[in-house]
Amino acid sequence: MTMQEGVIQFNLSHHAGDAIHYAELADLIYWHERMHALGLIGQEPSRYEGFAYGNMSHRLNNNEFLISGTQTGGLPHLTDAHYAHIETCDIAKNRVQSHGPIKPSSECMSHAAIYAASPDAMAVIHVHSPDIWQQHEVLGLASTPADVAYGTPEMAAATASALKHLQQPGCACIAMLGHEDGIICFANNMAAAGQHLLALYERAIS
């Protein structure tokens, strides 16, 4: 992991404001706790130079979505105050516009790419799992190239490209080979994404 891991790489226009309140936040908060309990989202001094890792999002309408805030992965429990509302995400120009009480995750470009490329996708979960990542070929996962860095327009484009090779386009996980241990999973609802990821994790550790 590079020194810039966990740091926002895009041009961000963020309007700071009060906590945002959406019904979708309940699912985001619940699944964050599930993933954190397994160490798939978290923060450890010995991993990734101490940066927090993992994030998740929920589409609102069109390509707007809620996403966990930057460097919140280390917190076991999140609240409404830990999420940002992505209004626009221009991948080609590397620009993001958002509002809320916290700046969005540094990985929101990849989330935006999935929502743009897959109209049925409603939820995205990004975790770090050495077990899944190291066995991605055995587990049959599509992947992004090893020379594509996280949080960049190139990673967003590579993620969108990987979607074209999925056998189950409505619910799947992708290994991000240029993002150590990075796995991104999406589905048409948060529970489906979470359950798909947990099933994959169980296969990887068995």
11-205: which CATH topology?
L-fuculose-1-phosphate Aldolase (3.40.225)
Task: Please answer whether residues 106 and 70 qualify as being in contact, where contact means their C-beta atoms are separated by less than 8 angstroms.
Answer: yes
Tokens of 160: 């969108």
Cα 10 vs. chain centroid, distance in angstroms?
A: 15
- Write down the pLDDT at residue 2: 42
Q: Other C-beta atoms within 10 Å of 103: how many?
A: 17
Please name which of 66, 67, 72 lies closest in space to residue 53, comparing C-alpha atoms.
72
Give the whole-angstrom CA distance, residue 195 versus residue 158.
24
Quickly list DSSP for 8-40.
Answer: --SEEEEEE-SPP--TTHHHHHHHHHHHHHTTS
17 phi, psi to nearest 5 deg:
-160, -170
Q: How far apart are CA 67 and CA 20, in angstroms?
A: 11
Per-residue pLDDT of the chain (206 residues; tens, 9 = 90+): 443 455 677 899 999 999 999 999 999 999 999 999 999 999 999 999 899 999 999 999 888 999 999 999 999 999 999 999 999 999 889 899 999 999 999 889 889 989 988 889 999 999 999 999 999 999 999 898 998 877 777 877 888 888 776 756 567 899 999 889 999 999 999 999 999 999 999 999 99
